[in-house]
């Protein structure tokens, strides 16, 4: 993550979003008046994403051979220009680009670090929609992040691929605007050797088709998705499908090494999806589920509609965490990485709510246990700033969850749970920021909450007031 981002060394890009959250004053690339910026404007990840356009849809047609570890195919990207574009960038790490077209005409391209710069034969007008097709192939090289990032992106396994891309690993397997501020819908047409299963987001379009020893799986994710939530997980899998009690389609898959966990994964994912729907608002997507792969990643990721568990059978608290992310992170996405507590603090708080719901410790007891440890390093490490080299630090999770509990105590249960539902409804399928959350909490409670959020999210010390 940070290592990749830093190698470009470019300035933050001036790409205002509707709420202005990403606006920044950095200089665009020199000597190219209408070039799209090489970053979307996230000050902590300056070369992630790109400026000048907004992707609406990715159509990924890819084949993968676990024996050679070779990925090959094309990405068809439909986008709208938000400025005149003489050239623009996509994010792509490694792989070999064969051919690029823009609106059907061959376009020139150049590579520099993880930036693929395309120059169409003539400039794209501001407001125009355009289609880019990139043909590419190669052996994907995942990102080796520092500290708590681990290895992420497209990772080859013994029988396929384990694909978890948070925060910026989509670029390891498809050219993309690789930042959560630009969400898009996806189609996946994935071809693998017969006997291998290819799992992506959303729902299967009919039964897989086998031809000449190769099977093609077609998946559609029709709700907007952040690039880091896209997956192409392949290998030998046992699958169970059905519906939750409330009627949401379920797709659960496990590597045969986790054969005995398939039914638990299915049942827990179904039950928890329905439970969160009563707490957070209607389930936002067209299916739910989960995947356990025999790859010891050491973490889980909330891939949209299909959280993935890396080499362990998840206990229900982890499933509760990853499925809470379907609302907090996946449907309502962050606009910049410094607001990651909006994902991880909420999903961790959901774990506490789940334990309480199941008759375990209350959220209040969990809060008090953390609060009692005055020596916890998280007090000196506030969760409201991004730490590119230490993004998934414990403070973002635990002090983030504590922030929500402090808020709940301050505004009362009725307002707090109404706030969660209004938050997920107002920003469904979109993006949001911490100041927007604070504003909604103040509006719904009628209280000034700036001091509370500042103490919990921004100050390098344990907040003095426990409401
Ligand atoms: N969002 C994931 C979770 O909370 C963590 C992802 C960790 N990513 C990574 N590259 N280590 O479950
Ligand atoms: Zn999480």
Distance CA 102, CA 94 (A): 21
Alpha-carbon torsion (43, 45, 49, 51), positive or negative: positive
Strands of the sheet with 308-310, listed across from one edge: 238-243, 249-254, 288-293, 308-310, 300-301
Beta strands per DSSP E along 351-448: 431-432
User: With a 6 A CB cut-off, is 323 part of the ligand 1 pocket?
Assistant: no
Q: Per-residue pLDDT tens for 325-383?
A: 999 999 999 999 999 999 999 999 999 999 999 999 999 999 999 999 999 999 999 99
Element (H, E) at 151: strand 151-156
Query: What is the mean pLDDT of the segment spanning 272-280?
Result: 98
- CA-to-CA separations, 283 to 58, 72, 164, 181, 328, in angstroms, rounded: 23, 34, 22, 21, 11
List the beta bridge partners of residue 75. Answer: 60, 134
- Please give the distance, rounded to the nearest whole angstrom, from the Cα atom of residue 458 to the centre of ligand 1: 22
As a whole number, the mean pLDDT across the chain is 93
- Please give the distance, rounded to the nearest whole angstrom, from the Cα atom of residue 244 to the centre of ligand 2: 23
List the beta bridge partners of residue 219. Answer: 188, 204
Predicted confidence band of residue 17 (pLDDT cuts 50, 70, 90):
very low
pLDDT at 32: 54
22 has pLDDT over 70: no
229 has pLDDT over 60: yes
| Structure tokens that stand for 440 in this block | 């909604």
User: With a 6 A CB cut-off, is 150 part of the ligand 1 pocket?
Assistant: yes
User: With a 6 A CB cut-off, is 166 part of the ligand 1 pocket?
Assistant: yes
Distance CA 228, CA 223 (A): 14
41 has pLDDT over 80: yes
Q: At residue 448, what are phi and psi to the nearest 5 degrees?
A: -80, 120
Q: Per-residue pLDDT tens for 383-422?
A: 999 898 899 999 999 999 999 999 999 999 999 999 999 9
Q: At residue 102, what are phi and psi to the nearest 5 degrees?
A: -125, 120
Burial of residue 357 (number of CB atoms within 10 Å: 0-12, 13-18, 19+): middle
The total of other beta-carbon atoms located within 10 Å of residue 187's CB is 18
CA 298 to ligand 1: nearest atom = 11
CB 383 within 8 A of CB 400: yes
Give, for ligand 1, the residue of 300, 318, 337 to mutate: max count of ligand atoms closer than 8 Å to Cβ.
300
Which residue, among 466, 452, 467, 462, has the nearest Cα to 381 in the 3D structure? 462
User: With a 6 A CB cut-off, is 299 part of the ligand 1 pocket?
Assistant: yes
Q: Per-residue pLDDT tens for 184-227?
A: 999 999 999 999 999 999 999 999 999 999 999 999 999 999 99
15 has pLDDT over 90: no
End-to-end CA distance of the chain: 37
CB 204 within 8 A of CB 102: no
pLDDT at 414: 98
DSSP 397: I
Q: Which protein residue has the closest C-alpha to ligand 1 atom 6? A: 301
16 has pLDDT over 70: no
User: With a 6 A CB cut-off, is 300 part of the ligand 1 pocket?
Assistant: yes
Distance CA 36, CA 225 (A): 22
105 has pLDDT over 60: yes
pTM of this prediction? 0.93
Predicted confidence band of residue 298 (pLDDT cuts 50, 70, 90):
confident
Q: Per-residue pLDDT tens for 419-440?
A: 999 999 999 999 999 999 999 9
- Please give the distance, rounded to the nearest whole angstrom, from the Cα atom of residue 130 to the centre of ligand 1: 33
What would the DSSP string read from start to end of 349-377?
A: HHHHHHHHHTTSS-HHHHHHHHHH-TT-G
User: With a 6 A CB cut-off, is 392 part of the ligand 1 pocket?
Assistant: yes
pLDDT at 148: 81
What would the DSSP string read from start to end of 53-84?
A: EEEEEEEEEEEEETTTTEEEEEEEEEEEESS-
Distance CA 408, CA 412 (A): 5
143 has pLDDT over 60: yes
């Amino acid at each position: 993550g940070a290592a990749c981002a830093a190698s470009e060394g470019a300035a933050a890009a001036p790409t205002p979003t509707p709420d202005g959250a990403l606006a920044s004053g950095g200089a665009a690339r020199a000597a190219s008046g209408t070039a799209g910026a090489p970053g979307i404007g996230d000050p902590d990840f300056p070369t992630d994403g790109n400026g000048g356009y907004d992707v609406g849809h990715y159509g990924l047609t890819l084949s993968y051979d676990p024996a050679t570890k070779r990925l090959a195919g094309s990405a068809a990207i439909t986008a709208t220009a938000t400025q005149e574009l003489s050239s623009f960038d996509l994010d792509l790490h490694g792989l070999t680009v064969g051919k690029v077209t823009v609106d059907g005409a061959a376009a020139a391209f150049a590579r520099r670090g993880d930036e693929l710069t395309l120059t169409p034969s003539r400039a794209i007008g501001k407001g125009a929609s355009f289609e880019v097709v990139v043909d590419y192939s190669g052996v994907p090289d995942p990102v080796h992040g520092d500290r708590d990032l681990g290895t992420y992106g497209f990772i080859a396994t013994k029988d396929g691929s384990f694909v978890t891309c948070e925060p910026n690993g989509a670029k390891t397997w498809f050219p993309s605007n690789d930042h959560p501020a630009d969400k898009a819908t996806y189609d996946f047409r994935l071809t693998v050797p017969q006997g291998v299963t290819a799992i992506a987001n959303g729902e299967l379009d009919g039964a897989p088709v086998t031809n000449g020893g190769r099977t093609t799986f077609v998946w559609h994710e029709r709700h907007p998705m952040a690039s880091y939530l896209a997956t192409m997980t392949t290998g030998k899998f046992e699958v169970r499908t059905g519906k939750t009690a409330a009627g949401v389609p379920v797709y659960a898959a496990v590597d045969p090494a986790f054969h005995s966990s398939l039914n638990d994964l299915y049942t827990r994912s179904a039950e928890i999806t329905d439970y969160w729907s009563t707490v957070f608002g209607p389930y936002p997507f067209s299916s739910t589920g989960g995947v356990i792969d025999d790859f010891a990643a050491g973490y889980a990721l909330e891939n949209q509609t299909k959280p993935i568990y890396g080499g362990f059978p998840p206990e229900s608290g982890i499933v509760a965490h990853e499925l809470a992310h379907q609302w907090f992170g996946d449907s309502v996405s962050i606009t910049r990485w410094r607001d990651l507590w909006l994902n991880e603090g909420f999903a961790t708080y959901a774990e506490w709510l789940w334990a309480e719901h199941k008759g375990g410790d209350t959220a209040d007891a969990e809060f008090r246990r953390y609060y009692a440890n005055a020596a916890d390093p998280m007090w000196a490490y506030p969760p409201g700033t991004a730490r590119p080299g230490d993004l998934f630090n414990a403070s973002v999770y635990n002090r983030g969850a504590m922030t929500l509990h402090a808020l709940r105590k301050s505004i009362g249960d009725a307002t707090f749970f109404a706030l969660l539902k209004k938050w997920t409804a107002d920003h469904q399928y979109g993006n949001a920021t911490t100041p927007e959350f604070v504003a909604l909490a103040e509006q719904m409670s009628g209280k000034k909450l700036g001091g509370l959020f500042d103490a919990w999210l921004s100050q390098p010390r344990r907040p003095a007031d426990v409401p």
